[in-house]
Amino acid sequence: MGSRKIRVGIDTGGTFTDVVAVDDESGAIVTTKTPSTPQDPAVGFLAGIEKVLAQLGETGDAIEAVSHGTTVATNKLLEGKVGTLGFITTEGYEHVLEIARQSVPDGYGNSYFWVKPDRIVPADRVRTVRGRLAYEGSEIRPLNEDDVRAAARFFKDRDIRTVGVCLMHSYANPEHERRVRDILMEEYPEATVSISSEVLREYREYERSITTLVDAAVKPNIRNYVNNIASRLREFSSAEGEQRDIPFYVMKSNGGVLSAKEVVHQPITTVLSGPAAGALGAALIAGVAGVDQVLTCDGGGTSTDVTVVVGGEPALTTEGRVGVYPSKIPMIDVVTVGAGGGSIAWMTPEGTLRVGPQSAGADPGPLCYAKGGNEPTITDAHVLLGRIPPHLLGGEIPLDTELARKGVEELAHRLGLEFEACATGILEVSAWNQANALRQITVKRGLDVRGFTLVTFGGSGSLLACRLIDILGLKDVLVPLEPGNVSAFGLLTVDVRNDYVQTHVSRHDRLKIDELQAGLDALAAEAERALEDEGFGPDQRQYARSADLRYFGQAFEVRVPVGDGPITQELMDEAAERFHQAHRELYGYDFRNDPHQHVEWVNLRVSGIGPIKRPELAEIAPGTGADDALTGTRQAYFDEWVTTRVYDRARLGAGDELEGPAVIEEFSSTIPVHPGFRARIDTFGNIRLSKTSDSNGATR
């Protein structure tokens, strides 16, 4: 082993792979970026490790652990490439996927034109088996094993190698599903199988079926990808040729990480891996800076991800979607819009300007990349308006402004606009796309967006920060140091975490303490076994209990914490009171004083947490004045062409201030400061953007 103990966080995005390494001995943090390799993400992953090790002057034997945020599962689902799947369910429920839910995207106004999407598994690839469980898990009719063997032969004859299994009420009793899997493995050992009782032990058959099938669909890709990286990490783990297994963790959607050997059995938990890491990294950075009411805006090359953080904790949901597929696994509540640096600007048949969701990605990329892209993008508009320099990554990637100009001018001509108006319009549409996503996670959830600080990060996340302050009425924006690497940094701040759920439907006034205690104890035992397998001792393991509650008759639940210790009537009443309060905060009313409305418990949850050491953020040296960081000027467009000062962020110190128009440049990102705005550097090196005056001219 080397003299250092290096932990590495790697976030693979659509355009760049971001890398952060922390030396646990000294606390030093080193960052870098490298182009992503969509054809084989592992290539960019390993190139990033080699690059950061070279910066540190170390070899692979210094690596203590690697944490990874991946888009492998997400991209497969977003692109609709789920492959050929088979489905086994209980006899009489073969149409559960066809019936689905009575929901129409964009409401009834779109219902005349909406076409129901193809099912994830067509009806001709659905097999049913006889056997039935009651809702509480007792067996009504035994499983017919001949039906299962017939289904296995059906899939094998048609070379359907990925199968999902969801039997009625298996959330209450998994024995039938486990036996189905055993028989499938006997008859068809080449198949990949997911069973709902291990993916999602909750009621609601449609969501459980879809979630199980999505898990099965991404399982082969995640397994191959993770195993490939683990083996290649082993190859360069020692300079002397003595190989070892480097601890390798993968980010999960719930805000925790899990070892690679375990995540291959829970692949669906990685579907929002990267965005989750970014939200947690931003939450930690903002918290250190004294901000706990946070909106995060993670702008990449393909999309922008936004989420809300209250009291230092990102909001969680089990009502998420990935592409067209609902997914009820616990995940950080992220809203994604097609407004990344590579998002394509285009003209609708009606002659209006749109931006995204189509993206030029990393290959061929924007026009200015000169790699074959043929449509203008957000990045092209920024470079043409002088908002970003004519290169990326400190000069590693030169940008061809003439190619960008040609494409934007062609679009401007078709729209009947001047060149500057078209480029500005591209950025304006993009800003409103981001603003609408931020409103979706605040205003639509009963939160006042004006009381939040926006934390912008990612390569393109801070480019529209000033415009978002105007649109949303935000008090300020915080741009962390190395904003392009916040997601990778976030990977080094998260704990090992596994979530366990069990449906337990009962009215609050009829709850039985012993049954509730037994249900939570069983989930805690599962969490304990998982943490033990991950190497955490008894004194390291932590547990968090919660429950999903609703008013009797409602079709949706609200999750609330359940206190520690033995279950008592007082503890249950406290959980019910938290539910009333949360319901009022979310929907504006509650029924706590209505004797005719009853609280109903629906799901019990336990999270097992294995804490990991977090890097500490250091204060930076006081500044000597922003003029010492001035590198020159260039023409930039802010409603008109103006001479704009350009600053090197690395030379700005704590307390330095500057006013727009200005552009602050660094290796991984650029921050345009519009006229009427100021930038101040805080003690941790964060840039704090705010307006210099409000609409009435009063200084803010």
401-415 and 419-440 helices cross at what angle (nearest 10)? 90
pLDDT tens digits along 408-422: 999 999 999 999 999
CB 603 within 8 A of CB 612: no
Most confident range (mean pLDDT) of 109-113, 310-314, 559-563, 582-586 is: 559-563
What distance, in Å, lies between the first and last C-alpha atoms of the chain? 54
Mean pLDDT, range 113-131, rounded to an integer? 87
Alpha helix stretches (DSSP H) within 244-308: 260-263, 273-288
Tokens of 420: 């500057």
- Amino acid identity at 362: A
**Which band of pLDDT confidence, cut at 50, 70 and 90, is reported for residue 700?**
very low
Strand bridging mode 6-12 / 63-69: parallel
> Mind spelling out the 3-state secondary structure of 355-378?
EEEEECCCCCCCHHHCCCCCCCEH
The conformation of residue 654, written as its DSSP 8-state character, comes to B
Mean of the pLDDT values across residues 460-484? 93
The predicted model gives 518-547 an average pLDDT of: 94
480: which 2 tokens? 């962390």
pLDDT of 138-152, one tens digit each? 999 999 999 999 999
Contact 455, 278 (CB under 8 A): no
Q: What is the DSSP letter of 17?
A: E
CB-based contact 67:7 (threshold 8 Å): yes
Confidence tier at 331 by pLDDT (50, 70, 90): confident
Residue identified by tokens 């992953």 is 45
Please tell me the distance from the alpha carbon of residue 467 to that of residue 385, in angstroms, as a whole number. 15
Q: What is the pLDDT of residue 17?
A: 86
- Given a contact cutoff of 8 angstroms between Cβ atoms, the answer to whether 194 and 176 are in contact is no
| pLDDT band at residue 322 under the 50/70/90 scheme | confident
Residue 111 has pLDDT above 70, yes or no: no
pLDDT band at 695 (very low <50, low <70, confident <90, very high): very low
> What confidence tier does 396 reach under pLDDT thresholds 50, 70, 90?
confident
Q: Which of 78-82, 230-234, 483-487 has the highest mean pLDDT?
A: 483-487
Q: Domains in the chain, please, with CATH?
A: 6-77+227-270 (3.30.420.40), 78-221 (3.40.50), 274-340+433-491 (3.30.420.40), 343-429 (no CATH), 496-610 (3.30.1490), 626-691 (no CATH)
- Give me the pLDDT at residue 301, please: 77
Neighbours of 644 (CB within 10 A): 21
Predicted local confidence at residue 69, as pLDDT: 87
Q: Do residues 489 and 288 make contact, with C-beta atoms less than 8 angstroms apart?
A: no
| 281 pLDDT higher than 80 | yes
695 vs 426: CA distance, rounded Å: 25
Work out the pLDDT band at 240, boundaries 50, 70, 90. Answer: low
Asked, as a colleague might, if the bond just before 357 is cis with ω within 30 of 0, I would say yes
**pLDDT band with cut points at 50, 70 and 90 for residue 699:** very low
Higher per-residue confidence, 195 vs 695: 195
- The band of 238, judged by pLDDT with boundaries at 50, 70 and 90, is low
Percent of the chain with pLDDT over 90: 58
CB 17 within 8 A of CB 608: no
Contacts of 563 (CB under 8 A, 6+ apart): 545, 571, 574, 575
98 in Cβ contact with 123 (< 8 Å): yes
Q: Are 262 and 226 in contact (CB under 8 A)?
A: no
pLDDT range class, residue 323, cuts 50, 70, 90: low
- Summarize pLDDT for 654-667 with one digit per residue, the tens: 999 999 999 999 98
Q: What is the pLDDT of residue 361?
A: 72
Least confident residue range of 294-298, 311-315, 487-491, 500-504 = 311-315
